[in-house]
Chain A
Amino acid sequence: MKAAVLQFPGSNCDQDALAALRDGLGIEAGYRWHKETTLGDFDLVVVPGGFSYGDYLRCGAIARFSPIMKAVVAFAERGGKVLGICNGFQILCEAGLLPGALIVNDCLEYRCLTPHLRVEEAGPLFNPASLGPLLRLPIGHGEGNYRIAPEGLAELKANGQVLFRYADAAGRVTEAANPNGSIDNIAGIRNRAGNVFGMMPHPDRAFAAYHPSQDGLAVFRSLLELPAPAHA
């Protein structure tokens, strides 16, 4: 089991993602620099959070043109698993690997919180049975307001492409529980084929004992189809 963490200029959660994979999950992981043109052999490519290219122009709009992204698109088209976290999610949307777009939060401010997420039925890897009905994962973003046209939204729902929705502690999807104005409280999605995932919440900030939760491990495990640890 081997994962790659991409590094763009301005990535700042690359080290966190690597630590989550190596220390949290105990799998092999390494960085891939954005100027590389080939990926190599990996089971998962993580596009980490941060401010690639300073979020100039639009979040993720410049990073998608980095040389490595051609290789990522080819990898995804071959069925390789790709996970975009936060800025990584924005990059995957800009690259056309995921539908929709992420715009500025409706509060017009950055938000750093640890919201509850209701787990949706999103196929064999992401579902309440594998992850439990409710997770808590940190968010930290200024532009996590997910937008998609009505037809697109209908398609996401019809195909079970919504991974998580912002919810309250009781699992109710309410307006008050929505930290950024995302349509339908959407916090994470997958592509139709089920191998490309994007989420604003940070599983890479939820794996150690002192983190607000350890739910990030379950997310990574589901994604990699790893068995839950025996003692859990």
Chain B
Amino acid sequence: MTRPPLPPNPDPVLNVPLTEELIRRHGLLDEEMARIRELLGREPTLTELGIFSVMWSEHCSYKNSKPLLRLFPLEKAETGDGPGRILVKAGEENAGVIDIGGGWAVAFKIESHNHPSAVEPFEGAATGVGGIIRDIFTMGARPILVTNSLRFGELDDPTVKRLFRGVVAGIAHYGNCIGLPNLGGDVYFDDSYEGNPLVNALCLGVLRHDEIKRGAASGVGNPVYYVGAATGRDGLGGASFASRELSEESQADRPAVQKGDPFMEKLLLEACLEMMAVPGLVVGIQDMGAAGLTCSACETAARGGAGIEIELDQVPQRETGMNSYEIMLSESQERMLVIVQKGREAEVEAIFEKWDLHAAHVGQVTDTGRMVVLQGGSPVADIPARGLTDEAPVYQRETRRPAYLDEVQRWDPASLPAPAAADLETALPKLLGHPTIASKAWVYRQYDHMVRASTVVAPGSDAGVVRIDCGEAGDRYLAVVNDGNGRYCALNPRRGGQIVVAEAMRNLVCTGARPLAVTDNLNFGNPYKPEVFYLMAEAVAGMAEACRAFDTPVTGGNVSLYNESPRGAIDPTPVVGAVGLLEDPAHLTPSHAGRAGLTLVLIGGFPFELGGSQYLKIIHGLKTGDAPSIDLEIEKTQNTFLLDRIAAGDVAAAHDLSEGGLLVAAAEMVFGADGVGVSLDLTAADGPRADALLYGESQGRILLATTPEKTAGLIQAAAAAGVSAQVIGETTGDGRLEVRLPGGSKGLGWSVDELHRAWSGAIEQAMHRPGIRS
């Protein structure tokens, strides 16, 4: 159908012909332009071109990742109405919502702000936190915690230090000010992320089932309100910016990075929750995040099967002379779009007046199915709403297995000389002192992790735990963890993807929590490169397999592509945030065995592999080998066994073996407990290499501490459950870590205090600034 052109835009700057150059700069392909002309029945205006450009960017449309996301389970296989039931599915709304029992639910999601953080680390990271918090309270939930997954280059590089300091300060600034405890997450340092750090922020909120709000516009004639901060020229085209590779010129994109105002967001959060608490006042609500007013307007209309009309003259603006292109594409922070029940406008306005915030009536819901944008009474954009959302293009990208995979997977540990005892001894403090393994206290002491007075387990353990006050339904204890080892995914993306999920589950279980669901953040390179897309497809398939195995559906998340610096793509780095519930607060299990006289039991056996380990990286400078082996069925059995033994009161402490392997885990279990040491007898572990035994990173392994009286029962129960469990040592009172190796050699030994110093001081020393107290 051919339609007449729209009248000229009030700003003559926008009345220019759409040249090839202009179209290319909007990142739109020829086939996409043809589709736009077809959808509109005419040539788009420049404002409309901008709108399509952001809505059809990878960031908003998932056009390249959608076919992969379909692999994830979105529902629990085990039906029933127990905790973990999905109440709002991935992709339906701004965040997924799951049941936690007693009529209560949690909304949670993780989102990236990688590109902005690479260009402007403080504001980039801060606004990443702000964006994900809005996604959560948009659902009607009160946010109660944040976590984050961070990836940087090696910390000896001054630019990396600048980025690391800036990102941590930015996260701290936003989260601390708004008053959300940061329960931790994970931080890795690896060359692969130099020039393209990853900043993934998770937020979780609590609500009753009857408080769930939808981002849908319905009810013809219902007024559309714009609430929160005024619109400026900042963050113009941020979604498009996030959908291309970083280059030397990216610094010039600084205007695409938004500036955050956590105080404004705190007011907006409180005002919105107050408004949503009034029954029947809010018809639909959505935050203005990526693609700002454009995205919130067309998505609410599309979800509600309605149309929406916006009058730009009514939009609060903090700069004069902004044209329609700028207003529609601005990514100014701390703004929301609210569809209000007609006739109740005054109630909404009074609430925002109380909080000294804008609440501007900017439009209404229509029945046209179109998003119509007016300025000075005449249309500047008029687009079918679903054309921007549901009908955005979806591509099946080409995949090609990278040649390097065969090479690394063929790697044989025997190509390394057998380590001498002295090498094995010097390796441990080096591993513990590498920033990836070292204590992250430098990071989390800058985050308020105690505000809200509900933090039960602070950062620094296997998982964070928070108490949730569910009113008359009593308290719930929820554990949350972030995991994602990109090195494994680079070496074997399928297996690496499985490990990302399995490790998160293991961490939850070690805390005593039953896993419920995950949110994912897929950080990859340019999807148009077939090798990159292969890694992504395989990693996602592996994650999906693991999610099915553990029956932990994916409740939503984020895709961040084009994570490349001039040096190439990052390691494929899918990250998950996983949540679990403690059935009884008494099940809370520390990762720390703070006293002498406990028996140490290793679950999962002694494997002999080194592939992908931090030992290979830190000691030998190698990034090779196959990713560690993993068996999802065994992991499941072990997890069930561990939760049973925790419930039976048999477990004094449990710590997951991850980066650095057995000795790192054993040392971490007694760090900080005065004079407590560990004695390990590994003589029964017969195998080819002592370094693999001590530092290999085979999956599915957990170190438990139990009392001597309960040890026999625990081992028997393991045998009955078909779980590999063996006593490998005990905690001692001599402040030493002593290890007896197979083959009757003299054994290895360290002072726990010295190891602790290497571990606790590494990041602090690297980040020390002369003349400033640390």
Contact = CB atoms under 8 A, between A and B. Distances in A.
Given A9-B267, A53-B263, A110-B446, A140 B452 contact: no
Contacts of A114: 450
A82 B267 CA distance: 25
Interface string A125-158: 0000000000000101010000000000000000
A112 B356 contact: no
B762 interface: no
A107 B773 contact: yes
B449 interface: yes
A112 B448 contact: yes
Given A12-B266, A13-B451, A140-B451, A112 B444 contact: yes
Nearest to A138: B450
A110 B448 contact: yes
Interface string B442-458: 00111111111100100
Interface string B430-450: 000000000000001111111
Contacts of B354: 35
Contact of A110 (B172, B585, B772): B172
Interface in B330-365: 354-356
A138 B449 CA distance: 10
A107 B445 CA distance: 12
Contacts, number: 89
A148 to B, nearest CB: 20
Contacts of B176: 51, 110, 140, 142
A12 B467 contact: no
A208 interface: yes
Contacts of B267: 9-10
B626 interface: no
A73 interface: no
A5 B446 CA distance: 27
Interface string B193-210: 000000000000000000
A54 interface: yes
Nearest to A19: B453
A50 B179 contact: yes
A119 to B, nearest CB: 21
B741 to A, nearest CB: 37
Given A9-B355, A108-B772, A140-B176, A51 B450 contact: no
Interface in B737-774: 772-774
A142 B177 CA distance: 10
Given A15-B452, A106-B773, A181-B773, A55 B446 contact: no
Given A9-B267, A51-B177, A109 B446 contact: yes
Contacts of A107: 772-774
A9 B177 CA distance: 11
B408 to A, nearest CB: 40
B448 A140 contact: yes
Nearest to A56: B263
A109 B447 CA distance: 10
A54 B263 contact: yes
Interface in B260-274: 261-264, 266-267
Interface centre among A49, A107, A112, A114 (most CB of B within 10 A): A112
Closest CB pairs A-B (n = 10): A12-B179, A54-B263, A16-B453, A140-B448, A51-B177, A210-B456, A205-B453, A138-B450, A110-B446, A205-B450
Given A9-B355, A56-B263, A112-B450, 5 more contacts: A10-B177, A55-B263, A109-B172, A112-B444, A113-B445
